[in-house]
Structure 1
Amino acid sequence: MGRNILIYCGIDWAERTHDVALVDDSGQLLAKRHITDDAAGYKILLDLLAEYGDTEENPIPVAIETSRGLLVAVLRTGKRQVFAINPMAAARYRDRTSVSRKKSDPGDALVLANVLRTDMHAHRTLPRDSDLARAIAVLARAQQDATWNRQQISNQLRSLLREYYPAALAAFEPWQNGLCRPAAHELLKLAPTPARAARLTRTQLQAALKRAGRKRGIEAEAERLREAFRADWAQQPPLVEDALGKQMLALLVQLEAACTAADDLSEAVEEAFPQHPDAEIILSFPGLGIQLGARVLAEIGDDRTRFADARGLKAYAGASPITRASGKKSSITRRWVKNDRLNHAGYLWAFSALTSSPGAKTHYRRRRDEHGDWHAAAQRNLFNRMLGQLYHCLKNRDLFDESTAYPTQLAAAA
């Protein structure tokens, strides 16, 4: 079939099967298929597209409700434009043509195809990031998830210890991230209940610290732990205490696995991120280390055509404010629809920059003192400014320069 008419493809994605619909520029349904989620199904899809004029130089654009998976990877080869349509947006398009609110998978595929036919200009294609950037994104997001999971399990363990074992919390309090440290794990496995902890000898405590990798101050630390465990604490009945101890050991296994996963993924990020060409520029910014810099790169990618200007990047990150106006009333508020991962990384970035960049600290203080911003609003404004600087540096391949980034703030501070 010739390409004298424009053709659009919509795919209703599911776990095992997919529905495909092709329409022309007049909205006429040309073909529909039901394919499986395997190599055979992908071949049927590609053959169907080729039958209706799909070529390497002029591929048929595709709309689908996901940005991940093997099907998307197959579609993204070559120059094809793949549009990941938000399911909520697709539902609004469905209501335009079906007042009865009926829903079917073939019908959803047709709706997605018509989204491209009528409003392709209003939707954004998947970015053309390099394979290295996409690999770093996988590792950085996995490390972030593992860190959040570790903290969640640590909070659960802390809550459980408060119910029957406050001596352990007091013993680990001087340690940073105490419940995540190997020494805490060794001691909890050695004494899962306060009754057993009170019977630990100096020799047993020193041996546990050595197994955890401690090298210095072992005798003094063992003595401190012994005094904490033998202090006077309220206790649960013995049977209840033993049961809670078994529950704690089961939770401790999950925490150890989460700590190992977070550490292994951190090492993987440290190995992959410096290999990227943008790593040197990103790491030149104050407040950005390898882990946080990798998270920023994972969300913005290395496709320079993804954002038309710095304003688009700021809106994507939720750093820039949004204005809502109706009649004579208007309000300026923060954005709720944003990339949550990038926004979270930006909060940590701005917080770290306060102690490593004089210009950033002066800008933050000016927002607090002169504009009356609260802490979160001032940090968000700082993040908004630093994102603009990052966009400029990546576009022009320049490293961060403090005097260029904050000339007014540095002069005021001087």
Structure 2
Amino acid sequence: MSVLHDPPRPRPTAGIDWASDNHAVAVVNSDGAQLDRFNVAHTATGLGQLCRRLKRAGVTEVAIERSDGPIIDALLDTGFTVFVIPPIQVKNLRSRYGSAGNKDDRFDAYVLADTARTDRRRLRPLTPDNPATVTLRATCRARKDLVGHRVALANQLRAHLQIAFPAAVGLFADIDSKITLAFLRRFPGQDRADWLSPKRLAAWLASVGYCGRTDPSVLHARLTSAPRGLTGPDGEARVQITLALIAALEAIRTQIAALEDQIEEQLALHPDADIFTSLPRSGQIRAARLLAEIGDARGRFPTPESLVCLAGVAPSTRQTGKIKIVSFRWAANKQLRDAICDFAGDSRHASPWAAQLYNRARARGHDHPHAVRILARAWLHVIWKCWQTNTPYHPARHGAAQALNRDQHATA
């Protein structure tokens, strides 16, 4: 006579609502009943207590809203399976449990824990990247943030000069270029610029190694034809503002250059560097950003479409009855979308295949950003294949590029 054994009951699941100072934690059993609820501090001691308490409760799977940081490291090191559920998805999941939609940390922790229990088959466990990729990602994002600050400061300087010293705004190509900042450091206001003559300006440009193609007499004509700036006591006061903005811009430019050197060094040591640097017009910084944002955990993206959707370059489709709406995909990894669109937009200048895709999209009436996203989607399929097979990109192995090349030869 055979003995029937009851199937093992599913183990409890936990949800953690992450915060900067302390974390709300909920543990639910296989029926969705809450077994435990507590808070832990965001300290080494608190994270240790969190892992021990979850272990004692029999938890093996944890749902949380973020994918990095000390709490994730602690959970993975302890052996937990971690599911990452984005905040926007948690916001939508609250409607399962009530229509009010109120935000409460302890309730969100319960929603996360219960979702890990009920939707386990739809959730993909977090697969961490290797430390080299994590470090490269942090460096690339830090550089991008500094570039944003540089742009904001440059805009602030331009707006200031349009009142204090308008002639300096259009003198050289870029307001934050080295030659512009050097000129403003030497001639920060109208009073000092009045001393210049074509001959004196030519001598100063030679002393700073100016290699532009614009003749000094043309530059001097720009200075004299522009509206005059502020002079006297008010002008001197504005000079101090100009010098302060210049100092801030130069400091940021120096730090951006230092991070770029670090990025190039980190990229050269990364095992996947050859894949991303082989892409047309990728350079070092673009290649590093693509690598850092895509990562090196191949299992995270089993299909190219999973990567495309995360990057937000595939449209979002909603259909009910005979009504079908195709719209911009807002839920995406914005860092990855920015990286792939930046690369795709410039790749069309080096790849005939990319140029053809972009031009066809524009011919269909799409604006530039939309056409770039269409091209980015196509590039992600190519990148995914190269990435999964550890093969650097080469046009000779790109079927669509070769087909275009054959058509062009046949037409010729």
Contact 1:198 1:226 in 2 (8 A): no
Contact 2:290 2:336 in 1 (8 A): yes
1:233 CA drift (Å) = 2.9
CA distance 1:287–1:79, change in 2 (3 Å):
farther
In 2: Cα distance, 1:67 partner to 1:335 partner: 21
Structure 1 length-normalised TM? 0.86
Contact 1:403 1:410 in 2 (8 A): no
In 1: Cα distance, 2:194 partner to 2:368 partner: 45
Q: What does residue 288 of structure 2 align with? A: 294
CA distance 1:230–1:73, change in 2 (3 Å):
same
1:209 CA drift (Å) = 6.6
Q: What does residue 29 of structure 1 align with? A: 34
The answer to whether structure 1 residue 393 and structure 2 residue 389 are counterparts is: no
1:254 CA drift (Å) = 2.1
Contact 1:141 1:298 in 2 (8 A): no
The answer to whether structure 1 residue 85 and structure 2 residue 78 are counterparts is: no
Runs (5+) with no aligned partner, structure 2? 1-7
For residues 241-299 of structure 1, give each alpha carbon's deviation from its aligned partner in whole angstroms, at most 9, with x where no partner exists. Answer: 33332222222222122212211111111110121121101111212111001111111
The answer to whether structure 1 residue 198 and structure 2 residue 194 are counterparts is: yes
Give the letter aligned to residue 74 of structure 2. Answer: V
Runs (5+) with no aligned partner, structure 1? 55-59
Contact 1:206 1:222 in 2 (8 A): no
1:79 CA drift (Å) = 4.3
Q: What does residue 242 of structure 1 align with? A: 236
1:227 CA drift (Å) = 5.2
Q: What does residue 407 of structure 1 align with? A: 402
Q: Secondary structure of 2:90's partner?
A: helix
Contact 1:359 1:402 in 2 (8 A): no
What is the 5 A alignment of 1:64-103?
Answer: 64-77=64-77, 79-99=79-99
Give the letter aligned to residue 43 of structure 2. Answer: D
In 2: Cα distance, 1:204 partner to 1:277 partner: 50
Contact 2:9 2:30 in 1 (8 A): no
Contact 1:13 1:65 in 2 (8 A): yes
Contact 2:167 2:228 in 1 (8 A): no
Q: Secondary structure of 2:262's partner?
A: helix
Identify which of 177, 181, 191 aligns with 1:185: 181
What is the 5 A alignment of 1:117-136?
Answer: 117-136=117-136
Q: What does residue 357 of structure 1 align with? A: 351
In 1: Cα distance, 2:206 partner to 2:146 partner: 26
Q: What does residue 324 of structure 2 align with? A: 330
Give the letter aligned to residue 197 of structure 1. Answer: A
CA distance 1:217–1:378, change in 2 (3 Å):
closer
Contact 2:25 2:106 in 1 (8 A): yes
The more displaced of 92-101 and 223-232 is 223-232
1:131 CA drift (Å) = 0.9
Contact 2:167 2:229 in 1 (8 A): no
Identify which of 290, 309, 312 aligns with 1:315: 309
Root-mean-square deviation (Å): 2.8
Contact 2:63 2:85 in 1 (8 A): yes
**Identity rate, percent:** 30
Structure 2 length-normalised TM? 0.87
Q: Secondary structure of 1:170's partner?
A: coil
Q: What does residue 57 of structure 1 align with? A: none
1:409 CA drift (Å) = 1.5
Q: What does residue 145 of structure 1 align with? A: 145
Q: Secondary structure of 2:171's partner?
A: helix
Q: What does residue 115 of structure 1 align with? A: 115
